[in-house]
Amino acid sequence: MMQAQVFTLYPEIFPGPLNKGIYSKAMTKKLWSLKVINIRDSAQDKHKTVDDTPYGGGTGMLIKPDVLANSIDQNVNNGDRIFYLSPKGKRFDQKFAQDLSKEKSFSLICGQFEGVDERVLGTRNIEEVSIGDYVLSGGETAAFVILDSVLRLLPGVLGNDKSPADETFENGLLEYPQFTKPQIWEEKAVPEVLLSGDHTKIKDWRLSQSEAITRDRRPDLWQKYKKD
Residues that bind ligand SAH (CB under 6 A): 85-88, 110-112, 114-115, 130-132, 134-139, 142
**Minimum Å distance from CB 21 to ligand SAH?**
24
Measured CA to CA, the distance from residue 216 to residue 194 in angstroms comes to 22
Are 149 and 22 contacting, i.e. CB atoms less than 8 angstroms apart? no
**Minimum Å distance from CB 38 to ligand SAH?**
16
- How far, in Å, are 18, 127, 148, 152, 155 from residue 31 at the CA level? 13, 25, 14, 11, 8
Q: Nearer to ligand SAH by C-beta: 7 or 23?
A: 7
Q: Give the number of C-alpha atoms closer than 13 A to the C-alpha of residue 30, restricted to the C-beta side.
A: 1
Q: Give the number of C-alpha atoms closer than 13 A to the C-alpha of residue 15, restricted to the C-beta side.
A: 16
Q: Nearer to ligand SAH by C-beta: 11 or 138?
A: 138
Q: Nearer to ligand SAH by C-beta: 76 or 85?
A: 85
**Minimum Å distance from CB 205 to ligand SAH?**
37
Q: Nearer to ligand SAH by C-beta: 132 or 156?
A: 132
- Across the chain, how many H-helices and E-strands are there? 7, 9
**Minimum Å distance from CB 95 to ligand SAH?**
17
**Minimum Å distance from CB 132 to ligand SAH?**
5
Q: Nearer to ligand SAH by C-beta: 135 or 165?
A: 135
**Minimum Å distance from CB 11 to ligand SAH?**
15
DSSP bridge partners of 189: 184
Neighbour-count burial of 37, counting CB atoms closer than 10 A to its CB (0-12 exposed, 13-18 middle, 19+ buried)? buried
DSSP bridge partners of 185: 188
Q: Nearer to ligand SAH by C-beta: 5 or 209?
A: 5
The closest residue (CB) to ligand SAH is 111
